[in-house]
């Protein structure tokens, strides 16, 4: 049985079993709450507003959105009361003096203490705008988006029937028949039945070379290629849209760069602290 210590065991029950009935109503949310306001007292122990706020933060954004209202907060209070009562019951039965409990408690304390020490080691880590801008300027290729085109095609078999259909399709296009209608009617590409031959956006290197060459040779939206032969058959390609190559702006990618640099610094700091601790304390590895 997994005995991981959680801040509230019973919170899992109603978070996992949440329904729309308890979705937050903005009218129910108090704009200002006194974190020290006592909501309940269980055998002398005070449960305060801040205890509920802490749990909502721990549970994550989705739970906070669902339960930060009058009814939801009351549910959390009821669970906190239940937790305290079961804790009193467990102590009364002597569970706090069992080897299993002491082992679990020791594990919890070890993890919490280690986390506090690591957070303290990382507290001064920061990333300047100059560092972010320098990384951006030196790694522009990471933020480049290559040229892409949006195209549709009609795929025909490489046989006599396919040759006849090519001539027919050309005539129909000259008469103004819609390309996607002709794709549904004639294309042997199975996807044509769902999307009229639309291939969406793609860049170079994603299609077979013959198809790619014919598609990227088209210039204006609406342009239709001459038949292009590949190992799949004959393609008639229509250009829908072109996206020129571009580079994401610094402002667009700054948060990502800042996070990446911060992660690198934290990793370096972690390894540096770990090596220092190995020098300070005795570590004996017995595993082969």
Average pLDDT, the chain: 87
Q: Is the pLDDT of residue 127 over 80?
A: yes
Retrieve residue 252's tokens.
């667009």
Percent of the chain past pLDDT 90, that is, above it, reads 71
pLDDT, average across residues 119-137: 96
Report how far residue 137's alpha carbon sits from residue 74's, in angstroms, rounded to the nearest whole number.
Answer: 52
pLDDT at residue number 29: 44
Closest by CA position to 69, among listed 50, 85, 56: 56
Of the listed ranges 109-113, 125-129, 163-167, 275-279, the one predicted with least confidence: 163-167
The strand ranges marked E within the chain are 38-42, 45-48, 144-145, 148-156, 198-203, 228-230, 233-243, 246-247
Which tens digit of pLDDT belongs to each residue from 10-41?
A: 444 444 344 333 444 444 444 568 999 999 99
Q: Which residues contact residue 232 at a Cβ distance below 8 angstroms, ignoring those fewer than 6 apart? A: 155, 208, 211
- The structure's pTM equals 0.58
Name all contacts of 224-231 with Cβ < 8 Å and 24+ positions apart: 224/173, 224/179, 227/156, 227/166, 229/158
pLDDT at residue number 161: 79
Q: How many other β-carbons are positioned within 10 Å of the β-carbon of residue 139? A: 12
């Amino acid at each position: 049985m997994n005995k991981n210590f959680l801040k509230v065991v019973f919170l899992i029950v109603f978070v996992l079993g949440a329904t729309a009935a308890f979705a937050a109503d903005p009218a129910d949310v108090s704009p200002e709450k006194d974190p020290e306001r006592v909501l309940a007292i269980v055998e002398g122990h005070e449960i305060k507003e801040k205890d509920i706020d802490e749990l909502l933060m721990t549970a994550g954004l989705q739970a906070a959105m669902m339960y930060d209202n009058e009814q939801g907060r009351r549910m959390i209070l009821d669970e906190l009361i239940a937790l305290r009562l079961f804790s009193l019951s467990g102590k009364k039965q002597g569970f706090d003096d069992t080897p299993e409990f002491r082992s679990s408690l020791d594990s919890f304390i070890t993890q919490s203490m280690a986390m506090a020490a690591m957070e303290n080691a990382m507290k001064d880590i920061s990333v300047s705008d100059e560092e972010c801008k320098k990384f951006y300027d030196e790694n522009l290729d990471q933020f480049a988006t290559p040229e892409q085109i949006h195209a549709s095609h009609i795929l025909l078999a490489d046989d006599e029937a396919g040759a006849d259909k090519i001539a027919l399709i050309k005539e129909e296009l000259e008469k103004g028949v819609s390309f996607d209608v002709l794709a549904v009617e004639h294309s042997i590409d199975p996807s044509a039945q769902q999307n009229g031959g639309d291939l969406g956006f793609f860049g170079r290197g994603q299609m077979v070379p013959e198809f790619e060459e014919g598609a990227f040779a088209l210039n204006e939206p609406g342009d239709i290629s001459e038949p292009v032969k590949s190992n799949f058959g004959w393609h008639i390609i229509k250009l829908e849209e072109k996206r020129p190559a571009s580079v994401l702006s610094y402002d667009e990618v700054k948060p990502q760069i800042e996070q990446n640099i911060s992660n690198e610094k934290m990793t370096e700091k972690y390894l540096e602290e770990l090596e220092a601790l190995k020098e300070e304390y005795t570590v004996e590895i017995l595993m082969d």
